Amino acid sequence: MSPGRGVEFFDGNEVATVAEIDDARIFDTTLRDGEQAARVSFTYEDKREIAAVLDEMGTHVIEAGFPVNSEAEFEAVHDIAGACETTVCGLARVVEDDVEAALDAGVDMVHVFASTSDVQLADSMHSTRDAVERRSVEAVERVAEAGVECMFSPMDATRTEPAFLAEMVEAVSSAGADWINIPDTVGVCTPKRMGELVEFVGEHTDAAIDVHCHDDFGMATANAVAGIEAGAAQAQVSVNGIGERAGNAAAEEVVMALESVYGIDTGIDTTRFVELSSLVESRSEVSVPRNKPVVGENAFSHESGIHAAGVIENAETFEPGVMTPEMVGAERAFVLGKHTGTHSVRKHLREAGYDPTDEQVREVATRVKSYGATEGEVTAEVVDRFASEVDVDRRRVHEGPI
């Protein structure tokens, strides 16, 4: 992004004057929480391939999995940790075997978690506040003793009684936690509340703060960005937003919002997002919706005549401007259909090697609209047929000297 582009785009908007973010880190949990999506199971080879791309892109932390889960999972996490240059993280409950498995896997960071909301304490962990606090402190102390970076997550933090959340944060911070993650485990937080929660947790720890947002109400990306705005150093994300239930904050959305809207250089190679999205879509078998922000097929596609005409003249008329297809490894497309105007038809004809008159463009456009309204997508073959029917000159249009 060119210097000052985001500020220019938001000239006069509160975002430019209120949202002061100096830096932001990305913790990718595609291989852990992403794989916990229903009906998703990555093979060893899948995990290695996805981790390699994440590493090459400059992702700050890769949560490679849950080492104690199985021998295959342990092997995958162990080998990813050995192969990646970036920080590799393994997940662990506040259980001795979990922590030891993560340490034995050779990860750079152990992510320890325990439920702290009353509903999960009673009906998931079947434990008490005192017992969970004691076990959490012991787990964090063990990771710290091993000299490995430690993150602690008070699971379901957004539904945890504030006084107990503060108590837990203080206890594990004193035990040596380097990071406190704030998980919105069931996606009930709002951006304003997330900002307040980050500030609240920051009052009870000197550890760095991280946020983990679920998308049950479609607010995961907004909540993640709000957490960063409020002082969190890092956001947990997954590629294409895959994860438990409705998923997590999407990596491509959070990174591009930070890069393009806020003007932050995250250090992530954003030009590989479409490639990475396609890889995860293939390996997870979770389809990416056409209208998915950043990486969806329609993200930079235009059919409406007014929009297409504007974009042909200047892409910033009906695209964000601060985010271009080139920035994420995508291509702009002008789709022909029911809403198509003459500008798109002329562009398609010329690119196909035709030299139409204005009258011929209008005639082909009429046929395109009619076909699109009754048959759907207008393919290149259909355009060729219409051009032939209208007897458009098939001479090539030369862009420069012969």
As to burial, measured by CB atoms within 10 angstroms (0-12 exposed, 13-18 middle, 19+ buried), residue 395 is exposed
What's the CA gap between 300 and 240, in Å, rounded? 17
Reported as a pLDDT band with limits 50, 70 and 90, residue 385 is confident
- Render pLDDT for 322-338 as a digit per residue (tens, 0 to 9): 999 999 999 987 767 77
Do 372 and 340 touch, CB atoms closer than 8 A?
yes
**Is pLDDT at 13 greater than 50 in this prediction?**
no
In the predicted model, what is the mean pLDDT of the chain? 90
pLDDT of residue 7: 42
Sign of CA dihedral 383, 389, 390, 391: positive
Instruction: Give me the DSSP letters along 302-329.
Output: E-SHHHHHHHHH-GGGSS-SSS-HHHHT
What's the CA gap between 31 and 50, in Å, rounded? 8
Lowest mean pLDDT across 150-154, 252-256, 302-306, 311-315: 302-306
Average pLDDT of the segment spanning 301-330 = 80
C-alpha atoms less than 13 angstroms from C-alpha of 261 in its C-beta half-sphere: 17
Average pLDDT of the segment spanning 286-303 = 91
Lowest mean pLDDT across 9-23, 64-78, 271-285: 9-23
Q: Which amino acid is at 321?
A: G
Query: Which residues, other chains included, contact 238 with Cβ-Cβ below 8 Å and sequence gap of 6+?
Result: 28, 29, 30, 33, 34, 247, 248, 249, 250, 251
- Render pLDDT for 53-110 as a digit per residue (tens, 0 to 9): 999 999 999 999 999 999 999 999 999 999 999 999 999 999 999 999 999 999 999 9
By 3-state DSSP, what share of the chain in percent is helix, strand and coil, each rounded to 5? 50, 15, 35
Reported as a pLDDT band with limits 50, 70 and 90, residue 14 is very low
Reported as a pLDDT band with limits 50, 70 and 90, residue 319 is confident
- Render pLDDT for 41-56 as a digit per residue (tens, 0 to 9): 999 999 999 999 999 9
- Render pLDDT for 98-126 as a digit per residue (tens, 0 to 9): 999 999 999 999 999 999 999 999 999 99
Reported as a pLDDT band with limits 50, 70 and 90, residue 343 is confident
pLDDT of residue 332: 85
**Is pLDDT at 377 greater than 90 in this prediction?**
no
**Is pLDDT at 12 greater than 70 in this prediction?**
no
Reported as a pLDDT band with limits 50, 70 and 90, residue 395 is low
| Residue linked to tokens 């690119």 | 351
> Tokens at residue 232, please?
């969190």
pLDDT of residue 291: 96
Q: Which of 215, 182, 219, 187 is nearest to 199 (CA)?
A: 182
Do 302 and 335 touch, CB atoms closer than 8 A?
yes
Lowest mean pLDDT across 253-262, 301-310, 341-350, 367-376: 301-310
Beta-carbon neighbour count of residue 239 at 10 Å? 31
Instruction: Give me the DSSP letters along 249-287.
Output: -BHHHHHHIIIIIS-------GGGHHHHHHHHHHHH--P
**Is pLDDT at 369 greater than 90 in this prediction?**
no
pLDDT of residue 312: 64
pLDDT of residue 384: 79
